[in-house]
Chains A and B, each alone.
Chain A
Amino acid sequence: MSELRGVIVSHAAVAESLVTAVRAITGITDALVPVSNDGCDYDALEQRLAAVLDRPAVLFIDLPGGSCLTGAVRYAHGRTDIAVVTGVNLAMLLDFVFHRELAPAEAARRAADAGGRAIKVTAA
C-alpha cells in the first residue's frame, strides 16, 4: 500500500506555513500538501481537495468547526480511505510524517494523540 498523504486544510496561509515548517524540521518533502480555503465556497474547496488527493489520506483541519471542516467532511463523507483530524498543530504533523504506513483512521488517531500531548502550560 502506498504511504498516506497528509493534507492540511486551513484559513489563509496557515497550511502552507505548517508544511514549510515540517519540511524545515524533518527534510521530508513529499508527505504534506497545503490547501487554503481562500476564495472558496464548498464546491470549490472540494475541487481543491480532489486535485491533491491521489491516494489514501489524512486531512488535517485548522479548527474543530467552520468552513474548512465542513468542506473536508463533505468531501470525505462515506469514504474509508480518508480520515479527518481537527485542531492541526506542528507536533501532530511531525508525528504523522513518520507514520504514513498506517491506515488512515489509525494514523489520524495517532496524530491527534500526539497533537494533544503537545499542548501544555509551562512555567515562565
Chain B
Amino acid sequence: MSLVLARVDDRLIHGQVVVGWGKTLGIRYIVLVDDKVRASDWEQDLYRMGVPADVDVIFASTAEAGPALAQWQADRRPGILLTADVATMAQLCANGGPIRRVNVGGVHHRPGRSERLRYVYLTDDEAAVLRGIAARGVEVTAQDVPTAPPVPVEDFT
C-alpha cells in the first residue's frame, strides 16, 4: 500500500486527517514532515494525542524526509504524509521522487494569500509552486475530506 496520501495541511494531524482520511483509507502510519515540530518534543507529544494507539507517527525534518521517502513508500502498510506548507511538499516532490499525487487539504488565510477555495488560500507564489509540481507529472488536487470532489490544480491556482 505504502503512502496513499501526500497532503498539504497547515493543521497537520487533526480530525480530518485522522478520522476523515484515516478511517477511509485504513491508515496505519502518519509521516509528519515539519522542521519546527521535528525539533520540539512537547509538540510531538501533542500531535500523538490525536492519533489512535495502533497508528504509528513518524516525525521528520525536510532534510531527513528526502532520503527516507523511498523507505516509507516501500512500507506495506497504508500511510499518510503531511506537510504544513506548499514549499515543503515541493521539496519532497523535487528530483523525480516517489510522490505521484499531492492533496491540498487545508491552507488557511494569512496576509498575502487570497481565497482559492473555502479551505485553500494561496499567495501567487504558492499557486505557481503547485502548478510547477503538476508540471513535473505529479497529480495535484484540492480536497479537504474524502467525500468531497477533488478539484484539479488548474481550477484553484
Which A residues are within 8 Å of any B CB, using their own CB?
11, 39-44, 63-67, 69-70, 73-74, 77
Contact = CB atoms under 8 A, between A and B. Distances in A.
B15 A44 contact: no
Interface of B: 10-15, 18, 42-43, 46-47, 49-51, 106-110
Contacts, number: 48
A74 B43 contact: yes
B133 to A, nearest CB: 21
A67 B14 CA distance: 5
B49 A64 contact: yes
B10 A41 contact: yes
B49 to A, nearest CB: 4
Contacts of B14: 66-67, 70
A70 B107 CA distance: 16
Contacts of B42: 77
B43 A65 contact: no
A65 B108 CA distance: 20
